[in-house]
Chain A
């Protein structure tokens, strides 16, 4: 009787051991079916601030639809009155930054200087197609691709510098290879305001842009 009990116990132990071997084998198979490859990409940080030296700007006049004089004016006019609207355009040539299309903007800010104030809201829309201050006029607006949503807004309620964030637009422009700039439009009223252009006699009143990037 004692011998039979001992035999049963031993058989049970052997069966349990055999099961463990099976489980270990299955676990090993499951792990070996996955491979993990890992790598790291280090980013280089830098700045490439823009001044009037790389700026191009103008404004177009609904009341003078073929006029291109805005390209050499010392101030850019922005007006909202129906039938005599004025839209301003500003861009910067980023080619000197030598950024690849795999780079991106960490932060970017556009600074303009209000020279004639108003209490209207100025909306800043991204431009997605090429233009030149020497040729752009009101009639040429139909040939431009302009974003439907404003990137940012400001109210030129007092003379002086106004800085607005344009990070998303500049980031997208770096990846696209070209920055076509922004259209500044009065979206709330009928007043007229002006900002200094890149031809302004006072260097401090000209448009500028700060850019911190990674690549």
Chain B
């Protein structure tokens, strides 16, 4: 009985240690995949992308156009947020990059009634 208890104790300890290692590895991996700021990006594009926006006659943003998105980004997700001078979100939208020849212009719509005069920055992200 004592011997069996000792064996089982070792087995349990080994299992707990394995869980700890797996958890640490998981944390390490997830924290290593987030980049932020005005950075050079890798993957399907090697540079930060430029955006322009269109307005209606009332001066509200009707769509945001992300220019020269590489063909390699097809199927990836672009998210955009219109920000004011306090970096508060005035509206946001998401789109999946379609297929195209060469560089694509990817348009995002559905920001709501956001006055272009209040927009001082675009926060953009590409998830791949």
Contact = CB atoms under 8 A, between A and B. Distances in A.
Interface of A: 3, 7, 10, 13-14, 17-18, 20-21, 24-25, 27-28, 31-32, 34-43, 45, 102-107, 151-152, 165-169, 171-172, 175, 212, 214
Given A39-B37, A104-B116, 17 more contacts: A7-B4, A10-B8, A14-B12, A17-B15, A21-B19, A28-B25, A28-B29, A31-B26, A37-B35, A38-B123, A40-B37, A40-B121, A41-B48, A41-B124, A42-B121, A105-B116, A168-B55
A20 B21 CA distance: 12
A107 B119 CA distance: 12
Contacts of B50: 41, 102
B1 A3 contact: yes
B18 interface: yes
Identify which of B4, B22, B57 gathers the most chain A CB atoms within 10 Å of its CB.
B57
B120 A42 contact: yes
Contacts of B1: 3
B86 interface: no
B43 interface: yes
B30 A31 contact: yes
Interface string B103-128: 00000000000011101111111111
B22 A28 contact: yes
B68 to A, nearest CB: 11
Chain B interface main SS type: mixed
A45 B116 CA distance: 10
Nearest to B26: A28
A168 to B, nearest CB: 4
Contact of A43 (B22, B34, B120, B124): B120
B54 interface: yes
A17 to B, nearest CB: 4
A10 B13 CA distance: 12
A172 to B, nearest CB: 8
Given A24-B23, A37-B126, A10 B121 contact: no
Interface in B85-106: none
Given A41-B122, A104-B55, A106-B116, A36 B30 contact: no
Given A32-B33, A102-B52, A212-B117, A39 B26 contact: no
B74 interface: no
A46 to B, nearest CB: 12
A46 B14 CA distance: 66
A37 B56 contact: no
B8 A166 contact: no
Nearest to B66: A41
Nearest to A42: B121
Interface in B25-84: 25-26, 29-30, 33-39, 41-43, 45, 48-59, 67
Contacts of B37: 38-40
12 contacts: A14-B15, A18-B15, A21-B18, A28-B29, A35-B35, A37-B128, A38-B37, A40-B123, A41-B50, A104-B52, A152-B57, A167-B55
B59 A107 contact: yes
Contact of B128 (A20, A34, A167, A169): A34
